[in-house]
Structure 1
């Protein structure tokens, strides 16, 4: 291979690698574990035997979808910022914006997706059975 061809080949390889790296930087996170950020706010026993209340703030990067999951009790989701699409098994899809709330019955599998262009946040309040995992992933 001549010197000019070798230099051209190296330049093309570097340009391709650089473009691939920059393309990855521009895509929204597809992995829900990287795009969801949970902050535990409070947890306490209720005066109902075997039940507790848990409250968390969940921040979703744009385009991120939670895995399909359920809880061992009721969830009240209140949208703090952004626009979310909620899909609950057996129910029509709903779109909620900042200030809207949704009651998710115990054991109902659901998915939440940030359909807005910016970070979305929800305040999730759970009234659940104690000593059980808060989140049960569904298939």
Structure 2
């Protein structure tokens, strides 16, 4: 496991890479991460070059978008973020760090995360 430094903008927000393997699709990688957001923090606006398929296993997150309405994800629920979609995951739980497992189908020549200000 390795910490991807620059992958989260707020202090205390942590994305830990669990595995990275070549996909069966040429030029693509499958990357899986554990993403943790402490109480009151958010991931910061960002996007990924491929799909993000996720599962929130602890806490509640407001998933905010630039181009569509916010939706709320509760522990035990899956989610899917389309490629190049700018989003911000905000911990809206009162008393716990949110934890989600995210799997990406990523282009091997692009960064996994692009941050926006």
Alpha-carbon displacement from aligned partner over 1:29-64 (angstroms, at most 9, x marks no partner): xx9432212221111001111001100001111011
Number of residue-to-residue matches in the alignment: 109
Structure (1 or 2) with the greater strand fraction: 2
Question: 1:12 maps to what in 2?
Answer: none
* Equivalent position to 1:130, from 96, 104, 108: 108
Give the helix-richer structure, 1 or 2: 1
Distance 1:84 1:138 in 2: 19
TM-score (norm 2): 0.87
Residues 53-132 of structure 1 correspond to what in structure 2 (within 5 A)?
53-117=30-94, 118-132=96-110
Q: Within 2, Cα distance between the matches of 1:135 and 1:86?
A: 16
Q: Which has the higher contact order (CA 8 A, sep 6+)?
A: 2
CA contact (8 A) 1:77 1:102 kept: yes
Aligned Cα root-mean-square deviation (Å): 1.4
Larger Rg: 1
Q: Deviations over 1:74-102 (max 9, x none)?
A: 10121010000001232111111111111
- Unpaired runs of 5+ residues, structure 1, are 1-30
Point out where structure 2 has 5 or more consecutive residues left out of the alignment.
Answer: 1-7
